[in-house]
Structure 1
Amino acid sequence: MASFGGNHSNGQVVFVVTTTTFVLASVFVTARIISRFAILRSRAVDDWVMIVAWVIAFGLSFSIDYGTSKGLGRHDVDIPTEWLSALRKSEYAFTILYNPALMATKTSILIFYLRMSRNTQKLLRIASYATLAVVNIAGVVLTFLNVFQCSPVSAAYDLLRTNSNSTCISIVTLYLASAPVNIITDLAILVLPIPVLTGMRLPQRQKTVLVVTFTLGIFVTIVDVVRIYYLQQAADHSEVAHTRLGSGTDFAYNASIALMWSAVEVNVGIICACIPTLKPLIKRILPSMITDRTRTNSGTDKETSFSSPVRDDSNDVPHRIESIEIATGIQPLPQAQPGGDSEQQINMMNFLTTPADVGRSKQQQEMDMMDFLTTPDMDPSMIRRTQTQPTINRTNTAATDNSVYFGFVNMKRPRSMLKTKGMESFKYCAMVTILFFLWGFSYGLLNTLNFEISTIANQSTSQFLGLTTAYFGAYFFGAMTVGQVVLRRWGFKATFICGLCIYGTGTLMFWPSAVLLSFPGFIISNFVVGFGLSVLETAANPFLALCGPSEHAEFRLLLAQGVQAISSILSQLLAEKVLFSRVASLIDVQWTYLSVALFTVILALFFYYMPLPEASDTDLQQQSEDLGIYRSQTVSFSFVKTKLPLIYTTLALAIAAQWAYVGAQEAMSAWFGQLLSTTTPVSGHLTLSMDNYVLVGHTTFAVGRFLFAPLCLIIAPRILLTFILLGCLIFSTLTFALSLNANGIAGPALVFFFFEGPVFPMVYAMGIRGLGRRTKVGAVYITAATSGGGAFQFVMWAVQQVDHKSVKYSYCVIVALFAFSLLFPAYLNLVPGARHQVDPAKLTDLLGASRRGSEGGDGGDDRPDTPVRRMSRKFSVIFSKISPGGHGNGARESQEVGIVEHRERQSWGTQGTGDGLHSPRSP
């Protein structure tokens, strides 16, 4: 073999590492074949696919090893001319074999998952099929891209055909752009079986070994990340990043480590895929590694009475059939039994198999890999499927109704979120607030990233605005499609997990877009991220509004949205001071998005295991009826001939107000920097830089949310919302009308940021109040209204184009939007039925008022009279005087600006008592 090239060559390292990992992979594949073919005498599709993967991995490793003998790892000056042709062919062979090797390995693992969960674990099967489709479609597409990387094809490996007439794709750029597909599928393969495995009722030690065995795939993801790092190092050399295979300066040296880690990724993947199949062989060679002697000696009787091997005697077959028929009622992921014997074992196949095996003889029944992972004390000579006793856990079913199996421990099942209070409510709301932090972080990062994209890629104004439009436009589609279906059918937790998965996928999609500087790629990635966050918001906002004492709904939502605003500020600081401080390309941003994607995976697993309270449509309807709010109530207006449904009128106006508000908010955010830069500054400079002015504006935005949160506890939110929107209207008008320099115009603009902060959570909380069984649908529609943020930036730009108007003049659009938004609080304050809907009294107050009324009292409450309450009563009197005569059917007038509360569902004597509100229950 030729020399590796001395001290300045990577050839020797590449050869040793590649060869070593392939030898280890060969050892594990051989062990798998012995375990499956020789000991079990069983062959499955995943075994054959793994053999195919090993054959391709051999070709991959050989191409690298052969390349090191022809100059791979050397600098160009150290490579003899006669080696170049062979070197180019070995590199080309590697590029063709890499994706098929990964595809075969992952296909084998996913087929194993499908066998493991056949006829059970429907979600695992669906997810496995989906991942299998992604793996194979991506693998085939990438393989063809590598085969036809040059035109003509021979230009990729034939030096004689390399000329100016041939065109090629940069192979390093292609690998970087395709990296997210590998990471997403790696994470999916890693995560998919974990809920199934942790849900098994097994002894602690056995379950731990089982989970660790399957999570060894994390090493593949780690190797993939290392490989991407070295690919990026190779791409940092401009000629390598933008030229054909092997034609850049020192390509053989710069790309050699990246190629080595690619081979390591494939070989380590094969090793990890084979480990779960090796128990029969280990049992033969080192039985002490598997058998727990102390448990075997002390618990034999218990285990024998619980699950015993079925003998080959044909007389046992009827008994086996009977036991399997009884076992079919057992759920695949059963709840742990409190107080049960911790030493009892249940074979995993009791949950992962079905009566489909009944019709087959013992010789025909295939012993699945999982049998070996969950029966460590079974003698190899008696390998059979175990039977379940007819009385298994049947007597303990009732005991589990109030418990939830949390992976390795039991947790109390949470009650309805409408009944939580105190620390229980705080605990759940704090966990969900993590999601608010996540999408705030993403929002701030995207704002800065979109600006940098437009700068680096020399994008036009319309392209820059198009990125934001794609992000907010996705809110409509995400909420109305996936968000609505998942929330209504499976609840809040499932919606959180679904939204996190979509969002994590979207963050990784920024990777190829940044590598290729592709504007369509950024549009798609912005859309997917917005789609995922809209699904999250569809569930997170109503969760905060409903989970806990309902008089604090606005308070909780304002605090959570304040956390979202703070995280947005932090992400902007990170982006401006660290990520984009000396930016020449966007490739470095991929690590931030990779971190965010990994965090979303961890967060999705956290929410999967953490029991969260839910609220059924029945509970929500009962709560509204307890408040005296019914679907039959109507509201009439002088300009409308027919009466309108009260709750739907309130919802429609809330949707319109939210749509206009978010449009104004995002238009202000998009054009604020241009407003300052196009206004004449004092003495030729701004007091603060434009970036710092934007940060100050977003800080006042967050302060507004935190400041108005406690005020909602003492002043009716509809009064506060009126005051806030009037402040927005006034200061947006000042920003539009005043003729000041840049520092002067920044004053009213910053105050405007302060007032607009609390609007979104307050409109959201009041918009879904009293909707009953339509609460989740209302949450979907109000979330979809966030899509208004993508429309009015273009409207302002269009205004500027008419007769070349200034940016400041285009702020008339924002003034109009806030004038329109004021219709919602005007309706709430002037229509008595709407006032009753959004600020009902406490149930205890109504009961007390009813008792005092029957005793001749005035029906008031016994709370101390304060200046705030006196002022509130005066406001209410004014609104009641100027409100129109027509009001909602069965509506009442608020006697004061009271504390707002959705009362808990309770059973009490007379329906409609306490405030003189008598309305029949809707059918």
Structure 2
Amino acid sequence: MHAHGETQHGKSLAVLTTLFFMWGLITSLNDILIPHLKGVFSLSYVQAALIQFSFFTAYFVVSLPAGRLVHLLGYQRGIVAGLGMAGVGCLLFYPAAATLSYPAFLGALFVLASGITILQVAANPYVTRLGPVATASSRLNLTQAFNSLGTTVAPLLGAMLILAGTQHITGVSAQEKALAEAASVQGPYLMLAAALFAIAAVFAMLRLPAIQDEVAQDGQQAGSVWQHRHLVLGAVGIFVYVGAEVGIGSFLVSLMEQPDVGGLSQADAGKLLSLYWGCAMVGRFAGSAVMRHIAASKVLACNALLSVLLIATAMLLGGKVAMWSLLAVGLCNSIMFPTIFSLALSGLGKLTGAGSGVLCMAIVGGAVLPLLQATVADNISLLASFGVPMLCYVFILYYGLAGYRPRG
């Protein structure tokens, strides 16, 4: 019976993995949208950073309502609802491009990200419960690796479909050029919408194992989730980590385009960006092996220190060295999110669910910190702005050395 259960879950897990791939793809495409729309609408760095702001604010706003929705509908219907909403968000890119409206793009991104938030809230716990508790984290790591595959493929696709097609538009008025450049977004996002609706239809028809939530005990006796210092510091860790990862991804294409750094075309820079996310994917596979032998907190501290050194090198030396150093930070990022997440939740017992909600809301760091980095980029220089993620990694270093320890 048990073996049968594993194979039966194997099919469900395979289908769930497509979700992780899709939302990795969609999230990472923002790194291509930023330099692209920055050019189309002649935006400052701060205005361009509103792309990530609209996207990641959805996590903050929608996480709790999404939790209630999934509770009402169940995991499977919750996933279908999330996919449908994300698909609608992708469709909204069409009128945004046709009317050349930057606010309409930001609105479409918010709807798209709201759908993905519902997906995350439903799919993450579902994966951990599909099978034995003992292997839950390895299952989540596997699905996360496919998430990384999505983030790696997206810049390549985006560079080919969105950035490369617009380099040859000449001899037309500025308005026509802007319209043509904006229109290059329409096809890819229509394809994404079609894919999301197709996956939603599959999920609606699948017979996934129904999983009951454990009846939550009255949480009062367990105290407040905010009493646990290692969880609160872990939430700060998630906040700064997502902010740093997103900030670097958001501005790397623009940096690699600069004549004194990479001197690359936008399309070539976009393709190189997939190295940043690809390193994270490789690091996830390697990291899970390393962590069987070395304490997770030590691996985290080591990776954070390496990130600080790589960014410091980039800022001091500039040029091609800066480009490669910053791309290498992707490798260090690999294990950070799942490691901070698990360290922050350790020993919470009945408060684990509430703690997980706090950590998911901390993903809003991806909205806030790139704006801060953009402000530095507009006022000082783009290279100097990478000091913001560097400080984030300093905090993660502290968390890996001391902050993760629960204080009883």
TM-score, reference length from structure 1: 0.39
Distance 1:648 1:437, change over 3 A: same
CA distance in 1, matches of 2:8, 2:353: 22
- Give yes or no for contact 1:542–1:779 (8 Å, CA) kept in 2: no
Alignment CA distance shift 1:728-1:550 (3 Å): farther
The answer on whether the counterparts of 1:656 and 1:785 sit within 8 Å (CA) in structure 2 is yes
| Residue 718 (structure 1) aligns with | 297
In the alignment, what sits opposite 2:15? 431
Asked if the contact 1:552/1:713 (under 8 Å) is kept, the reply is no
Which 5+ residue runs of structure 1 have no aligned equivalent?
A: 1-411, 622-629, 635-643, 835-886, 889-923
Take 1:420 and 1:550, find their aligned partners in 2: how far apart are those partners? 17
Q: Which whole-Å CA distance do the structure 2 matches of 1:488 and 1:775 have between them?
A: 16
Other-structure match for 2:175: none
**Residues 236, 362 of structure 2: 8 Å contact kept:** yes
Residue-pair matches, total: 393
The Cα shift of 1:422 comes to 4.6
- The partner residue of 2:334 within 733, 753, 757 is 757
Work out whether 1:566 is the aligned partner of 2:149: yes
> How far apart, CA to CA, are the structure 1 residues paired with 2:150 and 2:299?
25
Aligned to 2:50: 466
1:729 aligns with 2:308: yes
Note the alpha carbon deviations across 1:345-391, whole angstroms, 9 max, x for none: xxxxxxxxxxxxxxxxxxxxxxxxxxxxxxxxxxxxxxxxxxxxxxx
- Which residue, 519, 541, 549 being the options, matches 2:124? 541
Q: Write the deviation string for residues 842-867 of structure 1: whole angstroms up to 9, x where unpaired.
A: xxxxxxxxxxxxxxxxxxxxxxxxxx
Secondary structure of the structure 2 residue equivalent to 1:680: coil
Equivalent in 815, 818, 822 of residue 397 of structure 2? 822
CA contact (8 A) 1:725 1:822 kept: yes
Does the alignment pair 1:516 with 2:99? yes
> CA contact under 8 A between 1:507 and 1:525: conserved in structure 2?
yes
Q: Indicate the residue corresponding to 2:229 in structure 1.
A: 649
The CA distance in 2 between the partners of 1:784 and 1:421, in whole Å, is 33
Partners of 1:424 and 1:718 lie apart in 2 by 35
Residues 806, 693 of structure 1: alpha-carbon distance in 2 compared, 3 angstrom cutoff: same
Q: Which residue of 2 aligns with 1:23?
A: none
Asked if 1:600 is matched to 2:196, the reply is yes
Residues 543-587 of structure 1 deviation map (CA, whole Å, 9 limit, x = unaligned): 334433444444332322221221222232222223442233333
Displacement after TM superposition at 1:678 (Å): 4.2
State the distance in 2 between where 1:714 and 1:424 align: 31
1:42-53 correspondence runs (5 A): none
From 40, 59, 67, the counterpart of 1:475? 59
The 5-angstrom pairing of residues 15-414 of structure 1 reads: none
Tell me how far apart the structure 2 counterparts of residues 466 and 685 of structure 1 sit (CA, whole Å): 24
The reply on whether 1:505 has 2:83 as its aligned counterpart is: no
Letter in 2 for 1:820: F
Distance 1:698 1:711, change over 3 A: same
1:807 aligns with 2:390: no
Distance 1:446 1:670, change over 3 A: closer
- Matched-pair contact (CA < 8 Å) for 1:473–1:787: yes
Q: Which amino acid aligns with 2:48?
A: F
**Rg larger for:** 1
Q: Which amino acid in 1 is paired with 2:287?
A: F
- Which residue of structure 2 lines up, in the alignment, with residue 739 of structure 1? 317
Per the TM alignment, residue 471 of structure 1 is displaced from its structure 2 partner at its CA by: 0.8
- Correspondence for 1:586 among 182, 201, 216: 182
Residue 329 of structure 2 aligns with an amino acid whose one-letter code is: F
- Asked if structure 1 preserves the Cα contact closer than 8 Å seen for 2:45 and 2:377, the reply is no
Go from structure 1 to structure 2 and tell me whether the alpha carbon gap of 1:524 and 1:769 turns closer, same or farther (over 3 Å shift). Answer: same
Deviations 1:67-104 (A, max 9, x none): xxxxxxxxxxxxxxxxxxxxxxxxxxxxxxxxxxxxxx
**Larger RCO (CA under 8 A, 6+ residues apart):** 2
Displacement of 1:707 = 1.6
Residues 83 and 116 in structure 2, CA contact (< 8 A), matched pair in contact too = yes
- Verify: 1:664 aligned to 2:244, yes or no: yes
Instruction: Go from structure 1 to structure 2 and tell me whether the alpha carbon gap of 1:585 and 1:739 turns closer, same or farther (over 3 Å shift).
Output: closer
Q: Provide, for residues 725-767 of structure 1, a one-character-per-residue CA deviation record: whole Å limited to 9, x for no partner.
A: 232233233333x324x21222322221110122112223444
The aligned counterpart of 1:486 is: 69
Alignment of 1:683-698 (within 5 A): 689-698=268-277
Q: CA RMSD in A?
A: 3.3
Q: TM-score with structure 2 length normalisation?
A: 0.84
Q: Distance in 2 between matches of 1:447 and 1:502?
A: 21
Partner SS state of residue 517, structure 1: coil
Deviation at 1:426, TM superposition (A): 3.8
Residue ranges of structure 2 left out of the alignment (5+ in a row): 167-179
Structure 2 distance, partners of 1:509, 1:665, is 27
Per the TM alignment, residue 448 of structure 1 is displaced from its structure 2 partner at its CA by: 1.8
Listed one character per residue, the Cα deviations across residues 221-243 of structure 1 (whole Å, up to 9, x for unaligned) are xxxxxxxxxxxxxxxxxxxxxxx
Retained in 2: the 8 A contact 1:420–1:549?
no
Percent of aligned pairs with the same residue? Answer: 23
Displacement of 1:633 after TM fit? 7.7
| 1:654-682 deviations in Å (ceiling 9; x for gaps) | 22110110011111112223334447359
Mapped to 2, the partners of 1:488 and 1:538 lie a distance apart of 10
Specify whether residues 675 and 681 from structure 1 end up closer, same or farther in structure 2 by C-alpha distance, changes over 3 A only. Answer: closer
CA 647–563 in structure 1, closer or farther in 2 if over 3 Å, else same: farther
Separation in 1 of the partners of 2:154 and 2:225? 43
Match of 2:368 in 1: 791
Q: Is the 8 A contact 1:728 1:818 kept in 2?
A: yes
Whole-Å separation in 1 of the counterparts to 2:362 and 2:120: 12
